[in-house]
Amino acid sequence: MEDVAGYRVLRSAGRGDRALLLLGFDEGRTVVLKITPADDPGTAVEIKALSRAAGDHVVGLDDVATDGAETVLVLERLPNGTLAELLERRSGLDAGEAVTILAPIAATVDRIHALGVAHGGLSLGAICFRDDGAPTLTGFGGAEFFPAETPEVVRETVAGVGADRASLAAIAEVVLGRVVGPGAQGARGLAAGLASTAPGDLADRLFALASATPVRFTDDADVVAVRMGEPQQPEHVDDAPPAGLPAWLTALLPEWLRERLAEPAARVLAVWSAWDPRRRRVVLGAFAGGLGLVGALALVPAAPVASSVAEPTPTPLETSEAEPSLPDDPVEAAVVLLEHRERCLRDLSVLCLDEVVQPDSAAYADDVALIRGVQAGGEYPDAEILVGNPVLVERLGDAALLDLPPGSAPASVLLMRTQNGWRIRQYVNDEYLDAPAVSDDVGVPD
């Protein structure tokens, strides 16, 4: 692919319903190139909003280029992903992490409202993180404008302002609901009264909750254990046990029993929320089937037991998300991985990708961006990877580069051998093979 807006294109960074996202590189700096049709009304709105709201915790707009047919927004790269992705990886947050995430966003929403800009699309996916962990607002294509320094009594009647405040309260409720350990009780109390809290007041109340601490972007051990099918060992929680029991059940239980059950219930719900819908259906189906079997057995009269009974040999449990059996040959493994990848994309399952794509790789970022784009209402890209019969181009130790069948986009795929077998590391076009190396983590504004 040719250079875009003076930047050399490294690879695709995803596709939304109104934009193509590319990763660009020039003079040691990597950026996101957002390409939209020149007549797209949302692009003009986004440019105006980013220009007026420019400042801390708003994605930086470095440049705008157009050729009459397309408009290119050169945006800063946010390599630590979205808040939605963080909450999928983390079953619990420290109170200080919640403050680091929410307080700057609340203050920024208050700041841009004072400048006459309503975001119009606040969500967990519209909050991304810079390389230093700072939360940053993106996705201003649906912004609304009104006069700057509008008095509060008038500002609160603006539809976009009301929508922003409601969305901010919902986001804060989700994040505060994930707080465990010291500060968990205070976080729950704060979450209970967010509906009438203005953004500026919310920021002040958050700083009173705890001191800000750096956000950890690695997976929680319990979420990793769920993905790997391993037993979990919950950690001790020093503060009051997190809420998690249904209200109707809480009302029926004595206080001492509620306290004993609240913590494990909250942890189960946190892990459950981290699973994708298909895995939840599998577990519910297995649970329902088990209850049916128990009920059926209860109706069968007990038979005399012989003095010597052979124990039945247990059979392995099969699930619809069985990890693919991978051959040692990289060509054969590529066919299995690409076919399994198609199922992951069809089911819109990010967790499924763990069995196909190398974690924290360029391919993982690409596939997650594709799934998130479709979940947000976008369409699958026209170009597709063809499985067919890959051809081994080169193999160096634990790396193997394979050409895909003619017509495939991208044209090649790079595999890496891991402790779990071959995994896809990168989707490669021929013109990208000599591109400079960049970090695999890609934060893409919506």
Task: Place 320 in a pLDDT band, splitting at 50, 70 and 90.
Answer: very low
367 and 426 in contact (C-beta within 8 Å)? no
What pLDDT is stored for residue 418 in this prediction? Answer: 87
Closest CA to 354 of 288, 418, 434: 418
Please give the average per-residue pLDDT across 424-446, as a whole number: 54
What pLDDT is stored for residue 52 in this prediction? Answer: 95
399 and 414 in contact (C-beta within 8 Å)? yes
Please give the average per-residue pLDDT across 303-321, as a whole number: 38
* Tokens standing for residue 135: 């939360």
Q: Which of 2-11, 201-210, 249-258, 367-376 has the highest mean pLDDT?
A: 201-210
57 and 110 in contact (C-beta within 8 Å)? no
- The torsion angle over the Cα atoms of residues 333, 335, 337 and 341, rounded to 10 degrees, is 180
Query: Alpha helix locations (H) across 115-220?
Result: 152-155, 159-177, 184-191, 199-209
Task: Place 344 in a pLDDT band, splitting at 50, 70 and 90.
Answer: confident
What pLDDT is stored for residue 440 in this prediction? Answer: 42
- pLDDT exceeds 80 at position 305: no
Q: How far apart are CA 350 and CA 366, in angstroms?
A: 11
Task: Place 255 in a pLDDT band, splitting at 50, 70 and 90.
Answer: low
- pLDDT exceeds 80 at position 244: no
Please give the average per-residue pLDDT across 308-336, as a whole number: 59
Closest CA to 199 of 161, 147, 254, 252: 161
Q: Is the dihedral of CA 341, 346, 350, 352 positive or negative?
A: negative
* Tokens standing for residue 376: 């947000």
Mean pLDDT (the chain, rounded): 77
Total count of residues recorded for the chain: 446
The helix/strand/coil state of 129 is: strand
Task: Place 436 in a pLDDT band, splitting at 50, 70 and 90.
Answer: very low
For the segment 40-59, what is each residue's pLDDT rounded down to a tens digit?
Answer: 889 999 999 999 999 999 99
Phi, psi of 195 (to 5 degrees): -55, -35
What pLDDT is stored for residue 5 in this prediction? Answer: 83
Please give the average per-residue pLDDT across 255-268, as a whole number: 56
Give the end-to-end CA distance of the chain in Å, rounded to a whole number.
22
pTM score of the predicted model: 0.54
- pLDDT exceeds 70 at position 236: no
Among 20-24, 183-187, 442-446, which stretch is predicted with the lowest mean pLDDT? 442-446
The domains located in the chain, with CATH, are 8-76 (3.30.200.20), 78-275 (1.10.510), 330-432 (3.10.450)
82 and 23 in contact (C-beta within 8 Å)? no
Q: How far apart are CA 264 and CA 266, in angstroms?
A: 5
Closest CA to 139 of 35, 45, 41: 45
Cα radius of gyration rounded to whole Å, the chain: 25
181 and 238 in contact (C-beta within 8 Å)? yes
Write out the DSSP string of 221-252: HHHHHHHHT----PPP--SSPPP-S-HHHHHH
- pLDDT exceeds 50 at position 307: no
Give the CA distances from residue 40 to residues 72, 74, 294, in Å, rounded to whole numbers and listed in that order.
12, 16, 59
Please give the average per-residue pLDDT across 194-212, as a whole number: 86
What pLDDT is stored for residue 265 in this prediction? Answer: 58
For the segment 123-179, what is each residue's pLDDT rounded down to a tens digit?
Answer: 999 999 999 999 999 999 999 999 999 998 898 899 999 999 999 999 999 999 999
Which one is predicted more confidently, 105 or 308?
105
Task: Place 268 in a pLDDT band, splitting at 50, 70 and 90.
Answer: low
- ∠ Cα 74 168 153 (to 5°): 105
Question: What percentage of the chain has pLDDT greater than the value 90?
Answer: 34
Task: Place 2 in a pLDDT band, splitting at 50, 70 and 90.
Answer: low
What pLDDT is stored for residue 138 in this prediction? Answer: 95
Which one is predicted more confidently, 85 or 232?
85
What pLDDT is stored for residue 135 in this prediction? Answer: 97
Q: Is the dihedral of CA 165, 169, 170, 174 positive or negative?
A: positive
Helix-strand-coil split of the chain, %, nearest 5: 40, 20, 40
